[in-house]
Structure 1
Amino acid sequence: MKRGALASLAVLALAACQPRPPAAINGYVEAEFIRVAAPLAGRLVALSVQRGQQVAAGAPLFVLEHDSEAAAVSESQARVAQSEAQVRDLARGQRRDELAAAQAALDAGRAALAQSESDLKRERELAQSGFTSGATLTAALARRNADAARVRQLEAQLRTARQGAREDTQAAALAQAAAARAALEQSRWRLAQKSVTAPVTARVEDTLYRVGEWVNAGSPVVSLLEPGALKLRFFVPENLLAQLQPGSAVQAECDGCGAPFSATVRRVASEAEFTPPVIYSKENRQRLVFMVEASPSPQDAQKLRPGLPVQLRQIVSSVK
């Protein structure tokens, strides 16, 4: 009996000396949601999705009231049309009838000049024969000079009418047209922001407003979850921290998930979640835990849900 008891004690002592597998480290699944919002405020007039629905990238999500933005687009379009018409008008010059009137005035001036030149020639001939006075000749010369100046004036006016507005005036009109087009683009952008589509293919995790409610600018209306946009979050004691660095592979399991699955460590917190108040002894070092985040493969992520408890069972490999 004594010999059997000693043998049993030896077996128990040997078993106690064997390394024990580490206890499971508890954690949970956390999702990285995409919270879709509009940059402008407005009343929610349409919600095109429901919780749990799968949506493709570009699918409509919701619409805010946009009567004011649509009216602003119409106003901007009218201003663009007005400014562009003004540019064309200034570049084209005066209208056809105005040019015809200027031409007629020039023709009349040339006829008057021809008549005054004929009168001046006759008065000079009479003056040479002594049949007219010097004063009459001087008056005829003045009339001829005045008619010549009038013709030059009318010719300049006709050239100006054909050329259109001055270069500076046309440049100002072009700048005004460019400003009107820019204002139109702004109005169109504001209108487009009232109809929001899905940025990626994802599942609708939650809808945060109901139709008819007022939505502030930047407030999320729909929460999306991309396939595989899940991560495992654990709190690891400091004695395992050296083995868990970004790039390390760990093995985890959860209830109802089937066989254990692997995940890759992406982030290790730089500070402990709980720090002992006095000194670092062997006992209080156990209170030091560091947050570790790991990403499962897209295939394994499909069987996980946000908030699901998971356990870290094994460190498969660590970064040296």
Structure 2
Amino acid sequence: MLQNKWAWLLLLVTGLLGCDQPNSVAMGTVERDRMLLSAPVNAQITELTVSEGQQVAAGTILLRLDDRIASALVAQRKAELDLAQAQLALLQKGARDEAIAAADAAYQAATASAVEAQRSYQRSRQLFSEQMIGQAELDTALANREQTAASKLQLYQQWQQLRNGNRPEEIEQAQQQANAASAALRSAEKSLDDLTIRAPKAGVVDILPWKQGDRVPAGVQLVSLLAAVPCYARVYLPAAALTQLHQGDSVQVNIDGYEQAVIGTVRHIRSQPAFTPFYALNERDRARLMYLTDIDLPSDLNLPAGVAVEVHLP
């Protein structure tokens, strides 16, 4: 009787010690990269081109949002760019030949008037010295001479301005205005293009929470896609295995429904535990921490997400 008692006690101690040993298998599931596509603006769904479970290629149009406001903004930005470019071209080309010729003719006329005013002033001075006219007539001739000389100088400067063209600073300012208008147009075109939701890469439409005609707020999820390939295993790695398994290591993976195991490659091991924070546990409990780990599976496998897997640990 005493021997049986000791045998049961030994079996219990052995079982308890076995509970503290790290597991030789990590459990998890097959996963695929999930792509969440959201609404860029508050708008109405005008067209829904796919359904849940449908396989789509990269670039496939999934749905369209109302683009009337965005299209009008693109048209406005395009008109602003055309105006800015026309103003730039006008400044770069300079004045017309006809305008330069007209300015030259006006300058020549002012030159003739200035010559005549100078001669008239000289005659007035001669007459004034002979006391044939008074001071008032001489002052009038002097003022006329000064006025015609100033007019001649003004018209000459205008003629030279037309011949030399616009200042480089004015042309640079017009160029920057055209650049700003071009950037605004590209931004408006990008906003318009964003209203057509496309698949970023090949996959399967997993969730379509909205239907055609619904008005969706900005930022809300419109489509959830599961990437077609590759699939990978996401398992919970015991803390005790962290020193034995590293990124790039090969591991044996058993997949539900597959008779033979496959070889996977450790892609990434999370640095933080998935459950209770490390600092809240004592030394005994730390062995029970689990770390999410992603393991790449062979590229020729085409498995649905959610299939259970077992990873054999070293």
TM-score under structure 1 length normalisation: 0.71
Sequence identity percentage: 31
Q: Cα deviation per residue 1:143-195 (whole Å; 9 max; x = unaligned)?
A: 44443333222222333345555665555444333322222222112112111
Cα deviation, 1:43-90, whole Å, max 9, x if unaligned, reads 222222233333222222222111111111111111122223333444
Q: How does 1:264-279 map to 2 (within 5 A)?
A: 264-269=265-270, 270-271=272-273, 273=275
Which aligned pairs between 1:1-320 and structure 2 lie closer than 5 A?
Answer: 26-91=27-92, 102-119=103-120, 132=132, 140=141, 143-163=144-164, 169-236=170-237, 242-269=243-270, 270-271=272-273, 273=275, 290-300=291-301, 302=302, 304-312=303-311, 314-315=312-313, 318=314
Alignment check: 8 A CA contact 2:32 2:227 kept: no
Following superposition, the deviation at residue 245 of structure 1 comes to 3.4
SS in 2 for 1:85: helix
In structure 2, relative to structure 1, the CA distance for the partners of 1:254 and 1:118 (3 Å cut) is: closer
Q: 1: distance between equivalents of 2:108 and 2:98?
A: 15
- Gaps (5+ residues) in structure 2? 1-22
Query: 1:227–1:298: 8 Å Cα contact kept in structure 2?
Result: no
AA partner of residue 83 (structure 1)? A
The 1:291–1:71 alpha-carbon spacing in structure 2 relative to 1, beyond 3 Å, is closer
Report the residue type matching 1:222 in the other structure. V
Contact 1:91–1:163 (CA under 8 A) maintained in structure 2: no
Quote the residue 2:8 is aligned against.
none
Cα 1:106–1:265 shift into 2, 3 Å: closer
**Are 1:274 and 1:287, in contact at CA under 8 Å, matched by a contact in 2?**
no
Cα distance change on mapping 1:285 and 1:179 into 2, 3 Å: closer
Name the count of aligned residue pairs: 289
Letter of the aligned partner of 1:254 in structure 2? I
TM-score (norm 2): 0.72
For the pair shown, the structure with the greater C-alpha radius of gyration is 1
Q: 1:204 to 1:107 in 2, by over 3 A?
A: same
Are the equivalent residues in 1 in contact too, given 2:273–2:289 (CA < 8 A)?
no
Q: Quote how far apart the aligned CAs of 1:272 are.
A: 6.9
- Hey, what's the Cα distance between the residues in 2 that align with 1:62 and 1:286? 49
Structure 1 residues 25, 126: closer, same or farther in 2, change over 3 A? closer
Distance change (3 Å), C-alpha of 1:81 and 1:57: same
Instruction: Give the Cα separation in 1 of the matches to 2:291 and 2:128.
Output: 122
The answer to whether the 8 Å contact 1:38/1:218 transfers is yes
Per the alignment, in what secondary structure is the counterpart of residue 73 of structure 2?
helix
Residue type of the alignment partner of 2:304:
R
RMSD (Å), alpha carbons: 3.9
